[in-house]
Amino acid sequence: MRSDFTDWEKTQMRITGLIVGLFTVTTGSAQQEYPNIEGETLLEDDRVVVQRFVLESGEWEGIHEHPENQLVIVLNSTNELVYRYRGSERVFERPENDTVRAFWRPGPVYLSDEHDSGNTGSRPLEWIAITFKKDSVTTDDPPAQFVESENE
């Protein structure tokens, strides 16, 4: 694992750690798998699976599924990505100095959705997928600091 993280990357990792800490404990498997690329599992416990993936220029992930409830953090963006889903295709273009981005993928995505992504750009695409295991994400009984006003 890299040791030369920028301050921004360190901040993103801290935020990710806090988000992971907000969810309840559960069991189950939630590995993200792609037919054409291998991921590196960085952490797996009873709540989450944290994996790192790299999609080189010209590579396609292959038609795949996504489990429910994933937080995706794009560390290095390619300049062009083709996204296919249920027969439609979109092309995403990103500037060269694109910063770290994160997004929530509620899922699930099934094989029947024919979802695939390809790196048609000139730079590798690198991301961290944090998959929350079944029933680890809940909206019941949120922590008090999120529902009580500061004056109480």
**pLDDT tens-place string over residues 99-142:** 788 888 877 899 999 999 999 999 999 999 999 987 766 655 55
User: Mean pLDDT throughout 12-20?
Assistant: 50
Beta bridge partners of 132: 48
Is the pTM above the cut of 0.85?
Answer: no
User: Which residue has 């027969």 as its token pair?
Assistant: 87
Q: Which of 62-76, 110-124, 138-152 has the lowest mean pLDDT?
A: 138-152
Contact 129, 65 (CB under 8 A): no
- Strand arrangement of the beta sheet that strand 48-55 belongs to: 40-44, 48-55, 125-132, 70-76, 101-105
pLDDT for res 60: 97
Beta bridge partners of 71: 104, 130
Contact 31, 18 (CB under 8 A): no
User: Mean pLDDT throughout 87-91?
Assistant: 95
pLDDT for res 31: 85
Q: What is the mean pLDDT of the chain?
A: 79
pLDDT for res 100: 81
For residue 25, is pLDDT > 50?
Answer: no
For 134, the 3-state DSSP assignment is coil
The H or E element spanning position 25 is none
User: Mean pLDDT throughout 54-82?
Assistant: 92
Residue of higher predicted confidence among 62 and 77: 62
Greatest pairwise CA separation for the chain in angstroms: 56
Q: Is 129 exposed, middle or buried (0-12, 13-18, 19+ CB in 10 A)?
A: buried
Residue of higher predicted confidence among 135 and 45: 45
Specify the CATH superfamily of domain 7-135.
Jelly Rolls (2.60.120.10)
